[in-house]
Structure 1
Amino acid sequence: MKGHFNRPAPARNFGLFDYQDYLAKQGLFWQFQVDELELIDQGTQLLPLPSQIRLHILNRIKLDYPGHWLSLHQKLMWNQDSEIYQAWRPGLAQLGILHFFAISGYHIYFIQSRLKSLFYRMGAPKILIDTCIFFFILFYAFLIGWPFGVQRILALMLFKLLKNSFNLPFTNLDGLSVITIVQLIFNPNILFNLSFVLSYFMTIILMLYQPVAKQKKRPFQVQFELSLLCLLFSWPLMVQMNFSFNPMQLITVLSVSFLFDRVIMPLMMGTSLILLFLPSLSPLLTSLDHLLASQIMLGSWDDLLNWSQIWTGTMELTSFLLLYLFAFLAMFFLTRSKKALATMMVLIYFIIFWLVPICRAYDRLTIIDVGQGDALCYQSAWNQETWLIDTGGRYLFDPEKKGKIDNQHANRVLIPALRALGVKQINGLILTHPDIDHVGNFIALGQTIPIDQVYISEYTFQSSFFDQVRQVQNTLKINKINILVPGSLLQVNDKIQIASLSLDLSLKDPDLSNDSSLLCLIQMKYASFLNLGDLSLARESALIKQLPQWSANIIKLGHHGSKTSSSELLLNHFRPELAFISAGANNHYGHPHIEVLERLQAQQISYLNTGYLGAIQYIDEDGGWVRQVQHLEKKD
């Protein structure tokens, strides 16, 4: 194996998962990137006997054709991932039923109960049944790679065996507490593992609800209440991870939970038995594949789920804790007053997911870190409007695909950053000019988030990039595209102005694309902000002559802080108090250039650079203040 070590990437935008911090909490500070792998021996004789047995059994459940049903089966029953399962994953997550199709303690409970029922019918003594099931689950856990939920179930089974054998005066909650403490002693970092936290919560709910369940005479009522409680306890974490809440998940989760024990899990177990012991019957599984391939299960829900999706952004800590407080209260009210529970649920969820987002009484500007590129999000007070200036973007690094835009860059960087800010639709999008580092993510963005108005220059409209846009225009969720001719000034509303400077399009100037940049002035309550695109030094003087009435005390420097922009003339004219620089960390252009930084320092203008700080956000309250994602390390 050949490769190299590198540092894990930190979070560079607000609210996103910080992989570097996650690994650091586990004592991991470097990762090994494999560049070349050489296979010495394809045989299994070098493996220890248990591993050979495991490999043999796992190979038995694989078929030449993967199929949709088999891919879900391999993940749910055997913890084996696949490309088809990864394709299903977003849809399952949107439905809120992803946890049903990943091995957990819930599935082990199901297998355990079915085995117990079988052994009891055979007349076996209880202690023998419990012992046999324990060793069976132990072997099964070895086959599927020891997931957290399965580890906990095994420990609880062993605890119950010891408790019953020696008549120990402990409850199941006592056992769970001891097991959790032991796990944390040996590996305290699992506290930061979402699977462990959710698994722990679900087990507590099951244990606390068991006495109530024994009093219920209707199994469906028990399953309904238990599913509701599990959903209430898992929702806050899932909302915080996905930046969205969908009330329709209540219906989908309750529906699938009803079918899961009765239909899905028995079929999954039957599939395993066929693959292991009756492989000649495996062609029967193709009918299940055809059912799933038709997307009956997911396709019919798409429109309804998209309509009911509420994009929350990153929740405040108080909202997060309030949701968990309600989840605990629900356990109390569920057995006493279901009307009070329903009323409380509607009220709390309405306040957190509908009322709180519109109660932000200030404008805010976020310079999104899209690497070496530009993307700025403006959100007005009371959540009235959301504007985006440029989208960022980049070309693929693959030499064989030279000149091809990386269409996944938006899904990895821009769209998650916007979702974390609570953006569900964009009122206006300004594409300053057609350079890929400013517009490359436009198509993917337009296919994902609805955009009311798009503003482009005449030069951008005639560019080769916009030829690509025309080819996919029918797939874009865009209401209208507005073209600004050179020399025009558009007053969009009382806060936003867009200008296109006079420009001779017949000139064959290498900087013509940069000089065609649309300019944008945003007037907030306490500050005014100017976005310059990639305007060159020469065109900055044209800006001062053509728009002498414009003033701004915050400027985003042109061309990522390049020495070809941000002239002394411009800085002297506007005299900004603060400058933003949008540049990639350790970019090979050397942006921002030292000449520009010296100009800023000479005029005592403070500046903030995304290449060093990650995303930057200006909060337009009295006096104004700025926050950044983090202070990133510089490389020597």
Structure 2
Amino acid sequence: MSFLILSFSWVGVIVFLGWQFRIWKTGSKQIWRINLLFCIFWIGYIFLWNQIQQKQAIVDQTNINGHLVMHADEYEVDGDLLKIQAKWLEGHQKVQAYYRIKEKNEKKRWLASSKTVTYTFSGKIRQVSLPTNENEFNFRRFEASRNIVNAINIEELQVSSSKIKSSLLDRLLAYLHYLRKKMLLYLQKLPQPLSLLAEVLLLGYQKQDFNNTLEKIRLLGLSYLFSLSGMHVFYLISAFKWIFQRMRITRETTENIILIILPIYGILGGCSLSLMRSIGMAFITLISRKFFLIKITTIESWSFVLLVNLFYAPASIFDFGAQLSYLLTLILLLNKNSSAVLLGIRLTFFSIPLVLWNTYQWNLLTIFLTVVIVPFFEWLIMPCVILGSLIPLVSEACNTILVQSVNILTAIANFPTNIIYGKPPLFWIVFWMFLSILLMLGKHKRILVALCISSYFFVFMWIHYPLYGEIVYIDIGQGDSTLIRTPYNKSITLIDTGGKVSFQTEKWQTRHSKTNGETIVANYLLSKGISSLDRLILTHQDADHVGNFPSISKLISIKRVYVPAGMEKLSSFQHRLVKSSIKQNHVYPVKIGDLIDDPNINILHPTKEGQGTNADSVVLEYNFYGVPCLFTGDLDKDNEIALIKRLPNLQVDILKLGHHGSKTSSDESFIHALRPKYAIISAGRQNRYGHPNEETLETLRKNHIPYMLTAEKGMIKLVYKYNKIKISNFADENKITSFNFE
């Protein structure tokens, strides 16, 4: 019900109706009445929660001044960027905020801070952005799972001079957050990787430094290890019981103390979903037995905690960690008496659909590793992390074991066993989950296994060998990146990679977050099962066209790189090439008349060797099933005019406007000579350059040329399907514009 209301789909409707039919088939009128009342209540509650979220959302960017209450453990310093979760007092809500640190000493103060402080701020606030590309991470939904709807870009931030009244509960929470930050500062002094693993497993804190380790675990299909990381709650409770028993403290007193400790540790542990699930189950079990004299089963406590979680944060149903945590914990509870091998196989079968839906890849070794890794993680990794963190005398020994463990995982992750599968449709995710349930029930196993394997193979082939071709103008913000692929993925070309112009000069300002080349371009390619490009064409040297080249090359194999003649000699390009995974002999300089390894691509510019500037931009014509498409990089007006003088008969149907719609490109005589039937403009939202320029848009209107802008429409697609070519965009995903290109 939460899923249907917050993200409607017909697959969800079918699942919901199937569930209702199953309840009706029980034949119990009492169960049916209770179910009906619960459905009415829950649907009403989710609608109400959603309305409150929408009411709090600030749709249009607004200038604001106000106060933020900030706990020291709820912000992260990344280079010169401060990422904050804080309570906005005037708005009576929690917000995500960003602030650019101005000085190195200011950064040091933030890193050392351990107190809850109220700050005054000024800046701009707006609802958290939606994704603008297909399969892009939905950050708005992620923040909604934490009951956050707005984001603030802070311009000025300083400690508040006025005292803000706070309740006893607020002061208690502030103290617990203070303790957590002190613990984090202590753990940061431990050797690596003990420090990073202790932060994420014990305190639920994940830094950028942990991404490399986590990426190796992800490649092995073992992401669920951190979804089940609440297993250390078992160690915590067992340790307290053992200690109190030796101190001759009664069982009743012990349970009272544990009931107090569990919620406190929940806050100290960062309130992560997996941790709160584990704490909640232990807490409910103790409460029911102690105060209500009821012994509830682990399944019942699991169910109750899930309901409480969804009541508090309905959008957490979309969180990958929450999905894995609750699903795999349920599988563990239902298979207590199963062998390690059978349990590993079942955990794998249930996790595959969710992992493919979220990461698009799977490792052939995962089934084997699942059998081995769960006891390895539970009886070696977790004890080493706990003991190494709490007992300084054994820290080095525990860290040595962890170093070897991480090295083993890294070595295995480097095996060529990882499969880029792509993102399956939602129908198949539900279908595979249903098959996994039937397999666990134990009937018709051979038929079900055969059906499972054949369906995975069918979907794999469907994703990797599409029946249609497409040109995808990716919304990369202020930059350019375009994908061209033919049916069955016979030919795959990427023109430019996007990238941000960096003005950072000092080392302390360097940020470690992923580039949008990884999170948008490579993410889209992987979601379509694309792990290799036949060619990458870099039109010129500007960072907003080539900046993401190194980061993309580490995720996607690139066979050939084409650059305008002369650019391959530039130190800036050579610097990027060294940082990439591309070898020098795979770089090919081109100019007019040069042939490349695709007969549908015709190089029209540059005419001679240059410096990779705007004037030297690679201009290429692509024949897309009889529809000529032109890509001009950032070519300036003078060279546009020279181009049509050289090629007076050049005409195109689809024109990718030069220089993001700047007035320095798209000369009226150039546009008039080409006579395009449609224009595409790639530019960032509210960019500092004012792209696209009104002069350029007026030129298009004067020549009666319709256009789409990525800043307004997001990803734009030109699709060849069933012998027809249609244009669609991400913002209007259900609206497809047809044009006659004959």
* Alignment equivalent of 1:321, drawn from 426, 430, 444: 430
Report the 3-state secondary structure (helix = DSSP H, G, I; strand = E; otherwise coil) of the residue aligned with 2:613: helix
TM-score between the two structures when normalised by the length of structure 2: 0.71
Code of the residue aligned with 2:350 in structure 1: it is F
Report the 3-state secondary structure (helix = DSSP H, G, I; strand = E; otherwise coil) of the residue aligned with 2:503: coil
User: Which residue number corresponds to residue 12 of structure 1?
Assistant: 132
Query: Deviations for 1:475-527, whole angstroms, at most 9, x for unmatched residues?
Result: 42676222224x4242633433333343485xxxxx98223222222222263
Give 1:443 shift: 2.9
Code of the residue aligned with 1:629 in structure 2: it is F
Structure 2 residue 514 is matched with structure 1 residue 397: no
Query: Deviations for 1:435-457, whole angstroms, at most 9, x for unmatched residues?
Result: 22222222333344221111122
Give 1:618 shift: 1.5
Structure 2 unaligned residues grouped into runs of 5+ = 1-118, 162-167, 734-742
Question: 1: distance between equivalents of 2:436 and 2:625?
Answer: 40
User: Which residue number corresponds to residue 258 of structure 1?
Assistant: 375
Structure 1 range deviating more: 515-524 or 540-549: 540-549
* 2:388–2:398 Cα contact (<8 Å) kept: no
Structure 1 range deviating more: 49-58 or 371-380: 49-58
* Alignment equivalent of 1:362, drawn from 468, 487, 508: 468
User: Which residue number corresponds to residue 629 of structure 2?
Assistant: 529
Q: How does 1:101-112 map to 2 (within 5 A)?
A: 101=226, 104-109=229-234, 112=237
Ranges of 4+ aligned residues in structure 1 off by more than 6 Å: 113-132, 401-407
Structure 2 residue 92 is matched with structure 1 residue 92: no
User: Which residue number corresponds to residue 244 of structure 1?
Assistant: 361
Structure 2 residue 590 is matched with structure 1 residue 490: no
Code of the residue aligned with 1:574 in structure 2: it is L
Question: 2: distance between equivalents of 1:470 and 1:16?
Answer: 27
User: Which residue number corresponds to residue 557 of structure 1?
Assistant: 657
Query: Deviations for 1:288-308, whole angstroms, at most 9, x for unmatched residues?
Result: 33454465223312421xx23
Report the 3-state secondary structure (helix = DSSP H, G, I; strand = E; otherwise coil) of the residue aligned with 1:445: helix
Structure 2 residue 401 is matched with structure 1 residue 284: no
Question: 2: distance between equivalents of 1:132 and 1:6?
Answer: 43
User: Which residue number corresponds to residue 188 of structure 1?
Assistant: 314
* Alignment equivalent of 2:150, drawn from 24, 29, 32: 29
User: Which residue number corresponds to residue 615 of structure 1?
Assistant: 715
User: Which residue number corresponds to residue 523 of structure 2?
Assistant: 416
* 1:396–1:404 Cα contact (<8 Å) kept: no
* 1:583–1:592 Cα contact (<8 Å) kept: yes
Residues 558/270 of structure 1: CA separation in 2 closer, same or farther (3 Å cut): closer
Code of the residue aligned with 1:570 in structure 2: it is F
Question: 2: distance between equivalents of 1:134 and 1:402?
Answer: 44
Q: How does 1:169-568 map to 2 (within 5 A)?
A: 172-210=298-336, 213=337, 216=338, 221=339, 223-272=340-389, 275=390, 279=391, 282-293=392-403, 295-304=406-415, 307-333=416-442, 336=443, 339-340=446-447, 342-352=449-459, 354-398=460-504, 400=506, 408=515, 410-469=517-576, 471=578, 475-476=581-582, 480-485=586-591, 487-490=592-595, 492-503=597-608, 513-525=613-625, 527-547=627-647, 550-568=650-668
Report the 3-state secondary structure (helix = DSSP H, G, I; strand = E; otherwise coil) of the residue aligned with 2:525: helix
Residues 492/151 of structure 1: CA separation in 2 closer, same or farther (3 Å cut): closer
Report the 3-state secondary structure (helix = DSSP H, G, I; strand = E; otherwise coil) of the residue aligned with 1:351: helix
* 2:499–2:515 Cα contact (<8 Å) kept: no
Report the 3-state secondary structure (helix = DSSP H, G, I; strand = E; otherwise coil) of the residue aligned with 1:261: helix
Code of the residue aligned with 2:327 in structure 1: it is F
Question: 1: distance between equivalents of 2:710 and 2:647?
Answer: 28
Code of the residue aligned with 2:605 in structure 1: it is S
Structure 1 range deviating more: 243-252 or 59-68: 59-68
Question: 2: distance between equivalents of 1:54 and 1:602?
Answer: 61
User: Which residue number corresponds to residue 195 of structure 2?
Assistant: 70
User: Which residue number corresponds to residue 49 of structure 2?
Assistant: none
* 2:622–2:628 Cα contact (<8 Å) kept: yes
User: Which residue number corresponds to residue 508 of structure 1?
Assistant: none
Structure 1 unaligned residues grouped into runs of 5+ = 41-45, 506-510
Code of the residue aligned with 2:374 in structure 1: it is S
* 1:531–1:555 Cα contact (<8 Å) kept: yes
Give 1:54 shift: 7.8
TM-score between the two structures when normalised by the length of structure 1: 0.81
* 1:364–1:617 Cα contact (<8 Å) kept: yes
Give 1:235 shift: 2.8
Question: 2: distance between equivalents of 1:341 and 1:111?
Answer: 41
* 2:388–2:394 Cα contact (<8 Å) kept: no
Structure 1 range deviating more: 615-624 or 186-195: 186-195
Question: 1: distance between equivalents of 2:680 and 2:672?
Answer: 17
Query: Deviations for 1:277-296, whole angstroms, at most 9, x for unmatched residues?
Result: xx4xx243213334544652
Give 1:576 shift: 1.8
Give 1:546 shift: 3.6
RMSD of Structure 2 on Structure 1 (CA): 3.9
Code of the residue aligned with 1:455 in structure 2: it is Y
* Alignment equivalent of 1:143, drawn from 268, 285, 302: 268
Residues 22/285 of structure 1: CA separation in 2 closer, same or farther (3 Å cut): closer
* 1:78–1:103 Cα contact (<8 Å) kept: no
Report the 3-state secondary structure (helix = DSSP H, G, I; strand = E; otherwise coil) of the residue aligned with 1:490: coil
Residues 403/418 of structure 1: CA separation in 2 closer, same or farther (3 Å cut): farther
Structure 1 range deviating more: 127-136 or 514-523: 127-136
* 2:483–2:495 Cα contact (<8 Å) kept: yes
Question: 2: distance between equivalents of 1:431 and 1:54?
Answer: 48
Q: Identical aligned pairs, as a percentage?
A: 25
Give 1:585 shift: 1.5
Report the 3-state secondary structure (helix = DSSP H, G, I; strand = E; otherwise coil) of the residue aligned with 1:201: helix
Question: 1: distance between equivalents of 2:469 and 2:260?
Answer: 61
Code of the residue aligned with 2:197 in structure 1: it is L
Question: 2: distance between equivalents of 1:243 and 1:355?
Answer: 14
Question: 2: distance between equivalents of 1:403 and 1:148?
Answer: 32
Give 1:619 shift: 1.3
* Alignment equivalent of 2:700, drawn from 600, 604, 611: 600
User: Which residue number corresponds to residue 726 of structure 2?
Assistant: 625
Paired residues in the alignment total: 599
Question: 2: distance between equivalents of 1:6 and 1:542?
Answer: 46
Code of the residue aligned with 2:633 in structure 1: it is G
Residues 346/464 of structure 1: CA separation in 2 closer, same or farther (3 Å cut): same
Question: 2: distance between equivalents of 1:384 and 1:72?
Answer: 43
Report the 3-state secondary structure (helix = DSSP H, G, I; strand = E; otherwise coil) of the residue aligned with 2:561: strand
Code of the residue aligned with 1:225 in structure 2: it is L
Question: 1: distance between equivalents of 2:647 and 2:508?
Answer: 40
Question: 2: distance between equivalents of 1:50 and 1:116?
Answer: 26
Question: 1: distance between equivalents of 2:247 and 2:348?
Answer: 37
Structure 1 range deviating more: 458-467 or 402-411: 402-411
Code of the residue aligned with 2:204 in structure 1: it is N
Code of the residue aligned with 2:273 in structure 1: it is F
Query: Deviations for 1:547-584, whole angstroms, at most 9, x for unmatched residues?
Result: 45654211101221122322333333332221111112
Question: 1: distance between equivalents of 2:672 and 2:172?
Answer: 77
Question: 2: distance between equivalents of 1:491 and 1:55?
Answer: 61
Question: 1: distance between equivalents of 2:698 and 2:180?
Answer: 67
Query: Deviations for 1:406-426, whole angstroms, at most 9, x for unmatched residues?
Result: 994533544334334433111
User: Which residue number corresponds to residue 669 of structure 2?
Assistant: 569
